[in-house]
Amino acid sequence: MEQKETKKKQKINMKEEKFRCEECYRVFGGKESLENHNAAKHSSNILEENKSEKINRKKIRNRAIAVLIIGLIFYGIFWMFSNIKVLPPTDMQRHIEANPPSHVLKKPMPVEIQKHMLEHADGTGKPGVVINYNCEDYDCESDLIEKLEAFSEKYNYVYVAPFKNMDAKIVLTRLNKIEILEFYDETGIESFINGF
């Protein structure tokens, strides 16, 4: 008889355990009672959990937006600098008082010296004209460089030199003026040299 009563008590305890409140350890007769109790007495804990979950979602969203914006800024800067054309100078700012070794150069003329030649050829004469070409990145005719060099023989204020990574095949410069050519144009070059 005692064993029967002990088993009954254990069954009752097991049933009670199924409907025990996790927060305050109160025991309820049914599941519905436990849910009502939790909704009435412990709803603030549920709200806090939902609130912290919303805060975590907001943090993740805000960080994702920040990463996206930073990525777009870096892409914009890269795009902007990759689209800048590399061309010879047309001004005299930051020039140096030095002359190139010749009117015809086989190596690129330093930009600072080009600027000085635009001011005055050979450091004392009239303003100079510089003809730059880029046959590394562009297909040049076999006699193009010879034709360009002939202008320096004809005019004592014309310089001819290669220009690495220039975004054009041929570029003519004089003080504050530039002419970009994609093919050899003798009359156009003559006109530019003579200031027309």
**What is the reported pLDDT for 16?**
45
For residue 45, is pLDDT > 60? no
pLDDT per residue over 61-92, tens digit each? 889 999 999 999 999 888 777 767 889 999 98
**What is the reported pLDDT for 4?**
57
For residue 9, the one-letter residue type is K
CB burial of residue 58 (10 Å; 0-12, 13-18, 19+): exposed
CA 8 to each of CA 11, 27, 132: distance values in angstroms, whole numbers, following the listed order: 5, 17, 105
Region of residue 7 (left: phi > 0; alpha: psi -120 to 50; beta: else): alpha
From the list 162, 168, 159, 129, the residue with the least C-alpha distance to 145 is: 162
pLDDT per residue over 23-36, tens digit each? 787 888 888 887 88
Q: Which fold has domain 111-193?
A: Glutaredoxin (3.40.30)
pLDDT per residue over 122-173, tens digit each? 777 789 999 999 999 999 999 999 999 999 999 999 999 999 999 999 999 9
Of 38-47, 51-60, 130-139, minimum mean pLDDT range: 38-47
% pLDDT > 90, the chain? 52
For residue 43, is pLDDT > 90? no
**Neighbouring residues of 112: CB distance < 8 A, sequence distance ≥ 6:** 94, 95, 96, 98
The C-alpha R_g of the chain, in whole angstroms, comes to: 42
CB burial of residue 27 (10 Å; 0-12, 13-18, 19+): middle
For residue 53, is pLDDT > 90? no
Who has greater pLDDT, 21 or 1? 21
88 vs 191: CA distance, rounded Å: 19
Paired tokens of 104: 């015809």
pTM metric for this prediction: 0.61
Kindly list the domain boundaries of the chain, sorted by start residue. 2-82, 111-193
DSSP3 helix / strand / coil % (the chain, rounded to 5): 50, 10, 40
**In the predicted model, what is the mean pLDDT of the chain?**
85
Find the mean pLDDT for residues 42-64. 72
